[in-house]
């Protein structure tokens, strides 16, 4: 039971991180100090896509599910399991990544303009 709770908590935190990755630049329009946390999140996101850096939340969720007797995450990871092919078709992955990047750039431009 505790393993299931840990796995589910890791999944929820992972979704929250992804949501923050997408909209965190806009959050910084209101709370300016959060831009540093968002820059760290964007850096992690870029590294995970470009270099293939594995997310510790994925590792925790996979370990907890397996320890609790459930099937773990597939080797392809969190995004492939919960998002690609579920929220959008897999063939649109690059388009979604581009959309997220454009949204982040737009939020940073707005952040800079609001600071002036």
Token pair, residue 58, equals: 């994925």
CA–CA separation, 92 and 111 (whole Å): 28
pTM of the model: 0.90
Domain ranges of the chain: 2-115
**H-helix or E-strand containing 80?**
helix 78-82
Picking from 114, 115, 87, the residue whose alpha carbon sits closest to that of residue 100 is 87
What does the pLDDT profile of the chain (116 residues) look like in tens digits?
899 999 999 999 999 999 999 999 999 999 999 999 999 999 999 999 899 888 999 999 999 999 999 998 888 889 889 999 899 999 999 999 999 999 999 999 999 999 88
CA–CA separation, 25 and 116 (whole Å): 16
CA–CA separation, 83 and 113 (whole Å): 33
């Amino acid at each position: 039971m505790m393993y299931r709770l840990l796995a589910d908590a890791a999944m929820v935190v992972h979704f929250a991180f992804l949501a923050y990755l997408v909209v965190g630049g806009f959050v910084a329009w209101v709370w300016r100090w959060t831009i540093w946390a968002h820059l760290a999140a964007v850096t992690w996101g870029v590294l995970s896509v470009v270099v293939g850096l594995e997310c510790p939340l994925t590792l925790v969720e996979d370990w907890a599910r397996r320890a609790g007797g459930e099937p773990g995450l597939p080797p392809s990871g969190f995004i492939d399991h919960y998002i690609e092919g579920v929220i959008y078709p897999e063939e649109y992955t690059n388009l979604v990544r581009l959309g997220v990047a454009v949204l982040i750039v737009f939020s940073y431009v707005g952040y800079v303009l609001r600071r002036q």
